[in-house]
Amino acid sequence: MWLKDHPEHDPWAPLVLTDPTGWATSMKVRALRADRAECRAFLDRSLIVAEALPPAGEGQCLRDDRQVLASAAQADVALTPRGVQATCAVDAGLALWLRHGVQPAAQRILGSQVARIEHLGTNSCRRIGGGSAGNWSEHATGNAIDIAAFVLEDGRRIGVLQDWGDKGDKAAFLRAARDAACDSFSTVLSPDYNAAHADHLHLDQARRTGGWAACR
């Protein structure tokens, strides 16, 4: 009976966007990365209408899980540039991050909701670091998004490049958003990781053995 009243702690209850985070949430989020059907079922339960698109690309850059990201619009947040495509798992991660991480942090720290998120793209057929050798980036299959800035309803803009190094509320919000993303994404890389991420937060949904996550 207690689990029925607290589905966020029940590993057998389906993940629902409106549920608070609980003991079983991280396990359910990992399941979305591995099971496309469950991911799409989560979006349906969350009233996020995202149409699957035909595969694109080839080889290591085949994007066979592709849709226009719809979760931000459902949360009354605009993504710019518009029409960006990524995997279902990225869309689901954004939905969870916005509801349980970004908006509560923005209201708590800055006193205003986020109205728009500026991104640097999702898919790029390249290896990590852009070299000719090494592992392929999650961007190669559109399984990642790079977040550059947040624009609040009151017009203030919080940019990763401009504000990460400050010591005020904007920097505090960026770090809170980064930390919260670790609950919804498999990999979160910030300016604290290296200079290549000085101007954005890298969020991806890489599938890893054991389900471990990287949050830096």
CA nearest 197: which of 120, 143, 107?
A: 120
Beta bridge partners of 86: 67
**What's phi and psi for 17, nearest 5 deg?**
-60, -35
Query: How many Cα atoms sit within 13 Å of 3 on the Cβ side?
Result: 8
pLDDT tens, residue by residue, 45-82: 999 999 899 999 999 999 999 999 999 999 999 999 99
Number of domain units in the chain = 1
User: CA separation (Å) from 21 to 35, 76, 96, 176?
Assistant: 20, 21, 10, 16
CA distance linking residue 44 with residue 21, whole number of Å: 19
- Full domain range(s) for residue 16: 2-215
Question: Does residue 81 have a cis peptide bond before it, meaning omega lies within 30 degrees of 0?
Answer: yes
- Quick: pLDDT tens for 166-198: 999 999 999 999 999 999 999 999 999 999 999
* pTM (predicted TM-score): 0.97
